[in-house]
């Protein structure tokens, strides 16, 4: 079994493509070990330290991490996915259906994309580049009732522009149609590093990915 990985615009999220169907239809977003009880595969994944969220769609498993880097997490995640599919166990237990769960970030994908595009208008005053492509936006979650929760960071703890960036992110997201309330949370876990920048930002600053 060959599992491909695919980066996302959020450095804390990584897609795993097992090359077979994951869900027959819909999307499921599991945010903790309690919700993982609906899925034998999610239980395996949440047992790995550093896994903070698991999302399933038709052919993709998206993992949200906290803390450790992907280099250390990927082997355990790949092993858990392989073991699950080789066991023949279902992804979801019989009583669980995708429609039983609240709408996930995947199902609100269009709104998330529009919010991220709006957040590109927020420029980090130190680096002179937008916060999305700098990798400062860790997560954008859309909930029922137009509630949006943004998790982001700054280039350094105690950055003097923290309140400016937080306020700018809130205003930008609020400008998107359908958004009624925005909660912006600043975190320093994981700490930001230049490697978190998107490809265009890296090119702009002359940063090249090391080989090996």
Q: What is the pLDDT of residues 152-165, one digit of tens each?
A: 999 999 899 999 99
Beta bridge partners of 139: 151
* 64-75 as b/e: b if 16+ CB within 10 A: bbeeeeeeebbe
**Cα(147)–Cα(142) distance, rounded to whole angstroms?**
6
DSSP 149: E
Would you give the distance in Å from CA 127 to the centre of its chain?
Answer: 24
Query: At how many degrees (to 10) do helices 162-174 and 109-119 cross?
Result: 130
Helices (H) and strands (E) in the chain, counts: 5, 10
Beta bridge partners of 151: 139, 185
pLDDT for position 189: 86
pLDDT for position 63: 94
CATH of domain 4-100: 3.30.1370.70
State the number of CA atoms in the 13 A half-sphere of 35 facing the CB. Answer: 16
Q: Cis omega before residue 190 (within 30°)?
A: yes
User: Which stretches of the chain score pLDDT less than 50?
Assistant: 95-107, 211-212
Extents of the domains making up the chain = 4-100, 109-205
109-205, what's its fold? GMP Synthetase; Chain A, domain 3 (3.30.300)
pLDDT for position 106: 47
pLDDT for position 174: 94
């Amino acid at each position: 079994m060959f599992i491909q990985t695919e980066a996302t615009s959020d450095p804390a999220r990584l897609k795993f493509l097992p090359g077979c169907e994951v869900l027959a239809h819909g999307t499921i977003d599991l945010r903790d070990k309690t919700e993982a009880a609906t899925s034998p595969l999610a239980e395996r994944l949440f047992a790995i330290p550093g896994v903070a969220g698991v999302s399933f769609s038709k052919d993709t498993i998206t993992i949200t991490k906290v803390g450790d880097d992907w280099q250390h997490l990927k082997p355990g995640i790949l092993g858990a996915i392989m073991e699950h599919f080789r066991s023949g166990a279902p992804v979801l237990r019989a009583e669980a259906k995708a429609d039983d769960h609240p709408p996930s970030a995947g199902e609100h994908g269009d709104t998330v994309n529009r919010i991220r595009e709006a957040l590109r208008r927020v420029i980090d005053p130190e680096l002179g580049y937008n916060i999305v492509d700098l990798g400062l936006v860790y997560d954008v979650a859309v909930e029922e009732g137009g509630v949006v929760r943004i998790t982001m960071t700054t280039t350094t703890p105690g950055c003097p522009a923290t309140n400016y960036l937080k306020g700018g992110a809130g205003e930008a997201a609020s400008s998107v149609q359908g958004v009624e309330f925005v909660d912006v949370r600043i975190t320093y876990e994981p700490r930001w590093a230049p490697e978190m920048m998107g490809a265009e930002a890296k090119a702009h600053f002359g940063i090249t990915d090391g080989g090996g």
